[in-house]
Amino acid sequence: MAKILVTGAGGQLGRQILHLSNNSNGASSVTTLGVTSAELDITDARSVADAVEPGMVVINCAAYTAVDAAESDEATASKVNADGPENLAIACARVGARLVHVSTDYVFDGTATSPYLPQSPTAPRSAYGRTKLAGEEAVLRVLPSATVVRTAWVYTGTGSDFVSTMLRLERERDTVSVVNDQIGSPTYSRDLASGLLELAASPSSGRPILHLTNTGTASWYELARAVFAGAGADPERVLACSSAEFVRPAPRPSYSVLSADAWTAAGLTPLRPWRAALSDALGEVRAGAR
Ligand SMILES: NC(=O)c1ccc[n+]([C@@H]2O[C@H](COP(=O)([O-])OP(=O)(O)OC[C@H]3O[C@@H](n4cnc5c(N)ncnc54)[C@H](OP(=O)(O)O)[C@@H]3O)[C@@H](O)[C@H]2O)c1
């Protein structure tokens, strides 16, 4: 029976992969094991070597994702985002396991005007982006058969993600200002998880880097308006502002739309449009609140 190991299984994406695997019909010939940071620290090379078994598919969802904090703690971010994935690649190479490594749109500088392809030049503008790019490079250097999957703007609608934050602010404030000069593709973690499981179950496409997001584009302002509308609130309560008015420690790419062409060319199913995914996500949030 094929075995999938999900690292960083306590995070939003890892949890969704386990949720989908555990709820797939019992006829599945795959067993999925999730390990949280407490159960497997990917910066610990020996523990990683012990955890990876021959024939396994490892999906690495473990990462240092505090984008702003990384600006003042790049060394820690680098340990998790660069050294950790390298440990996984070494372990997979040693025993003949497959590695699917999740990365980010923040490896790009955001100056493009059309969707980024996997081979588009990278130029991260933040410490987080630099450490994630170093992780991609380490993985593909050690294990050229690995697949790096870049994604973007991931939300679940719970915890402190953007959608959840907008739902909270809708309850707490009359109006909320949101930047309208950063463009990307909002991506529901459950859809992303489903795509990663499809990839893990498919023969390797031989493509080292793939991009996977829900389709369509939005600014954060448009996404916030869609969240308000989906929650039954007036979207006019969302006001547009610029990134210059909302300065944060880490610069964000102003355009980070990722092309799904390579994913589709690999014979994999593209994710649905982001508005349909958001609608389902908000339904899940409502169901969870009942
Ligand atoms: N969220 C986004 O918008 C977004 C966008 C683009 C790409 N991505 C990428 O998508 C992947 C999943 O992100 P996510 O949204 O699920 O992030 P997340 O919710 O922050 O989850 C990351 C997980 O990694 C764990 N972790 C941290 N250090 C670890 C270590 N040394 N060993 C093992 N596990 C460790 C964390 O555990 P603790 O909480 O216990 O530290 C957490 O459970 C990451 O590669 C991220 O870079 C995310």
- Give, using CA atoms, the residue closest to atom 2 of ligand 1: 154
Q: Using CB atoms within 10 A of its CB, is residue 29 exposed (0-12), middle (13-18) or buried (19+)?
A: exposed
242: left (phi over 0), alpha (psi -120 to 50) or beta: beta
Residue 206 makes CB contacts below 8 A (sequence gap 6+) with none
DSSP string, 22-81: HHS-TT--EEEEEE-TTT--TT-HHHHHHH--TT-EEEE------HHHHTT-HHHHHIII
Q: Which residues are catalytic?
A: 128
Atom of ligand 1 nearest to the CA of 102: 45
pLDDT of residue 24: 79
Q: Which two tokens stand for residue 2?
A: 């094929």
Closest CA to 227 of 180, 287, 186: 186
pLDDT band, residue 43 (cuts 50/70/90): very high
Name beta bridge partners: 238: 176
Residues linked to residue 30 through DSSP beta bridges, in sequence order: 2
Q: Given this model, what pLDDT does residue 23 score?
A: 85
111 falls within a domain: yes
- Determine the residue type at 29: S
Say what the pLDDT of residue 285 is. Answer: 95
Task: Return the pLDDT at 34.
Answer: 98
For the chain, give the mean pLDDT. Answer: 96
Determine the Cα–Cα distance for residues 225 and 231; give it in Å rounded to an integer. 10
Residue 45 counted as domain residue: yes
What pLDDT is attached to residue 288? 87
Instruction: Look at strands 154-155 and 187-188 and give their pairing.
Output: parallel
Separation of 182 CA from ligand 1 center, angstroms? 22
Cβ–ligand 1 distance for 214 under 6 Å, the answer no
Q: How many A from CA of 41 to the centre of ligand 1?
A: 12
Tell whether ligand 1 has an atom less than 6 A from the beta carbon of residue 99: no
Query: Which CATH number is 211's domain given?
Result: 3.40.50.720
* CA–CA distance, 116 with 255 (Å, rounded to integer): 9
For 176-204, the pLDDT digits (tens) are 999 999 999 999 999 999 999 999 999 88
Q: Which pLDDT does position 48 carry in this prediction? A: 98
241 part of a folded domain: no
Q: What's the 233 CA to ligand 1 centre distance in angstroms?
A: 31
The predicted structure's pLDDT at residue 132: 98
Distance 144 CA to ligand 1 centre (A): 23
Ligand 1 pocket check for 156: Cβ under 6 Å: no
> Domain span at residue 37?
2-153+188-215+255-272
Cβ of 104 closer than 6 Å to ligand 1, yes or no, is yes
pLDDT band, residue 229 (cuts 50/70/90): very high
Average pLDDT over residues 86-107: 98
C-alpha 181/C-alpha 218 separation (Å) is 10
Instruction: State the average pLDDT over residues 116-136.
Output: 98
Tell me, yes or no, whether 42 lies in a domain: yes
Q: Is 47 touching ligand 1 by the criterion CB < 6 Å? A: no
Q: What is the pLDDT of residue 2?
A: 85
pLDDT number for residue 56: 97
Cβ 188 under 6 angstroms from ligand 1: no
Whether 182 is in a domain gets the answer no
The whole-number average pLDDT for the span 203-212 is: 94
pLDDT tier at 26, thresholds 50, 70, 90:
low
Q: What is the pLDDT of residues 245-272, one digit of tens each?
A: 988 999 999 999 999 999 999 999 999 9
In a domain, 87, yes or no: yes
Taking each continuous run of H as one helix and of E as one strand, the counts in the chain are 11, 12
Is the CB of 152 within 6 Å of ligand 1?
yes
- Residue for token pair 């995070």: 11
Give yes or no for residue 175 having a pLDDT over 70: yes
Q: Residue 226 is inside which H or E element, if any?
A: helix 220-230
Query: Does 114 reside within a domain?
Result: yes
Q: Is this structure's pTM higher than 0.95?
A: yes
d(CA 146, CA 98): 6
Count up the domains in the chain and report the number.
Answer: 1
pLDDT tens for each residue of 141-169? 999 999 999 999 999 999 999 999 999 99
Query: Which residue minimizes the CA distance to atom 11 of ligand 1?
Result: 61
> Is residue 149 within 8 Å of 103, Cβ to Cβ?
yes
SS3 assignment, position 138: helix
pLDDT of residue 94: 98
Q: For the chain, give the percent of residues with pLDDT over 70.
A: 98
Q: Ligand 1, atom 26: nearest CA belongs to which residue?
A: 62
Q: How far is the CA of 239 from the centre of ligand 1 (A)?
A: 30
pLDDT at residue 30 in the model: 85
Of all protein residues, the one whose alpha carbon is nearest to atom 40 of ligand 1 is 37
Domain contains 177: no
